[in-house]
Amino acid sequence: MIQVIMGLKGSGKTKKLIDSIHEAVANASGDVVCIEYGKKLTYDVNYRVRLVDSQEYGISNPDMLKGFLSGLHAGNFDITNVYIDNLYKTIGNDRAAGEEFILWCAKFAENNNMNITVTVSDDAALASDAVKAYL
């Protein structure tokens, strides 16, 4: 399953993300991973969440992020929840590439029995119909 939290800056995306992370930690039967851009969630999420700073791994485009997610899963089949904060900061501000990545995540999550939540700083009204299905 995939969920997209989309909205303009200041619309409360990160708060929703943190609330969802806390719920997953309390209820998930596996590991929880959060990929962020920069180290700003360190004190906001539970210590049991594996925080990953995408900048430390040089992730700068969708293909690198896909490979990183695939590697995380290959190394730990117990991951049940993945959170990606600030997708456009991680992969660049290309709306088409972001939408293609979200659709890839939907297939990846379904095939690997994972829940993936992504925050996107963009106007939800501009999202494609395919992405709107995950809002």
Residue 84 has pLDDT above 90, yes or no: yes
pTM of full prediction above 0.85: yes
Three-state SS at 32: strand
**Is 24 within 8 Å of 81 (Cβ atoms)?**
yes
Residues 6+ apart with CB under 8 A from 66: 101, 104, 108
pLDDT (0 to 100) of residue 51: 96
Closest CA to 46 of 34, 29, 30: 34
pLDDT (0 to 100) of residue 28: 85
Express as a percent the part of the chain with pLDDT over 70. 100
Cα–Cα distance between 123 and 127 in angstroms, integer? 7
Has domain 31-121 been given CATH number 3.40.50?
A: no
Residue 6 has pLDDT above 90, yes or no: yes
* Two structure tokens written together for 20: 């969802």
pLDDT (0 to 100) of residue 24: 95
**What is the arithmetic mean of pLDDT over 31-48?**
93
The helix-helix angle for 62-75 and 95-111 (nearest 10°) equals 20
**What is the arithmetic mean of pLDDT over 102-125?**
96
What are the boundaries of each domain within the chain? Answer: 31-121
Three-state SS at 92: coil
Q: For the chain, what is the mean pLDDT?
A: 94
